[in-house]
Structure 1
Amino acid sequence: MNVIFWDFDGVLMDSNAIRNTGFEKVLADYPPEQVEQLLSFHKANGGLSRYVKFRYFFEKIRNESVMEEQITILATRFSVIMKDLLLNEDLLFSETLDFVKRNQGNYKMHITSGSDQEELRYLCESLKISYLFDSVHGSPTAKIFLIKDLIDLHKYDHSKCVLIGDSINDWEAADANGILFMAYNSDEIVKSKTNYSFIF
């Protein structure tokens, strides 16, 4: 195995619960039962971007059209909240980060996340972990395409790549790109998709 694509939330950082808080704060003016529906969708689809989730909230839960500008405004508010709440090194998973530190140079390692790319790079720089990875990538580009673009750019051998993630969307991104998948910190449904044993 030469290349590792890392998910961020729930794999490198214990941030999923805080992401829930972000959606609650940004959508505080909407009916609580609708926000709960979004949170259920968010928890089941951790690897999708907030842009997709906000659009789902309006189009599928509220059954109304939404302008791209409104999605951008909500995503920006969400990012401001995240930059404040996630700037905490205690939230980093020591198990995975220790592995990354021990193996820097042994693998090509990229972060490919559903989180906003600008926000993600800000957090990684501020928490002083950016140097551990060859690159850091996030939304609004979907993870499927982030991985495809990196494989194409670096001419990686698909058979020597693995994605480590915690959601069904991560498995889908790995499967779509013909690379191996390892579930970490995941429920049984996601764990059942694991096709590669990886020891930290």
Structure 2
Amino acid sequence: MNTILWDFDGVILDSMAIRDWGFRKIFNSFTNEEVDRLITFHSNNGGLSRYVKIRYFYEEILGMSITEEEVLLYANEFSKLMRKELVNPENLIQDSVDFIKQNFNKYCFHIVSGSDQEELRFLCKELGIDSYFISIHGSPTPKKQLVSMLLEKQSYNKSQTCLIGDSINDYEAAEFNNITFYGYNNFELKKLKHKYIDNFISLEGI
């Protein structure tokens, strides 16, 4: 492989518990049962953006309509919480971060994430890891489209490009774009019978 596209949450940053808390915080006026259903959806679809999840909460769980303006208000409130809580370097996943630091000169590294793009770039800069990546991309553009746009812009050879992710949405984005997928930090992905990274320490090469 020459090019590695990285998911962020659950692959580079251990953020799921904090993002769970964030959703509970912005939706604290609703019942625990309703928000629990959103957290389940969030956990099962880590690669989807908060914009999709907020709309899903209203339309599918609450059975209510929500305007684009209201979605953005919730998303901005969520982002403020994340910018404050996720800048702690202790949340970095050392296994993958060490690999990134040791190999960024050997591969073309990019981040393609379901997290908000501006928030993502802010966090990477605050955490001191932004310089290891050629570019950092996030929502509201869907991950499938982010990968497609990046492959086209950089004229990467698909057979020499892979995506490392921890969710079914990452797998689907790789499949959609005909690039290799490596599962990481989610044993459920082993059931897909595709390539899986147990840890980067024992990884001989991609």
Question: What range is the shorter-chain TM-score in?
Answer: over 0.9
Name 2:67's counterpart in structure 1. 67
Letter in 2 for 1:27: F
In 1, the alpha carbon distance for the partners of 2:192 and 2:136 equals: 25
With over 3 angstroms needed to count, the CA separation of the structure-2 counterparts of 1:87 and 1:194, relative to structure 1, is farther
Cα deviation 1:49-94 (Å, max 9, x = unaligned): 0000000000000111110000000000000000111010011011
Name 1:195's counterpart in structure 2. 194
Q: 2:128 aligned with 1:139, yes or no?
A: no
In 2, the alpha carbon distance for the partners of 1:141 and 1:194 equals: 28
Q: Is the 8 A contact 1:183 1:194 kept in 2?
A: no
Name 1:87's counterpart in structure 2. 87
In 2, the alpha carbon distance for the partners of 1:196 and 1:48 equals: 22
Q: How does the TM-score come out when normalised to structure 2?
A: 0.94
Letter in 1 for 2:34: Q
Q: Is the 8 A contact 1:42 1:53 kept in 2?
A: yes
Name 1:4's counterpart in structure 2. 4
Name 2:171's counterpart in structure 1. 171
Q: 2:38 aligned with 1:38, yes or no?
A: yes
Q: How does the TM-score come out when normalised to structure 1?
A: 0.97
Q: Mind listing any 5+ residue stretches in structure 1 that lack a counterpart?
A: none
Aligned residues: 199
Shift of 1:193: 2.7
Q: Between the two proteins, what is the percent identity of the paired residues?
A: 48
In 1, the alpha carbon distance for the partners of 2:181 and 2:192 equals: 7
Shift of 1:197: 5.7
Name 2:200's counterpart in structure 1. none
Letter in 1 for 2:153: L
- 1:6-25 matched pairs, under 5 angstroms: 6-25=6-25
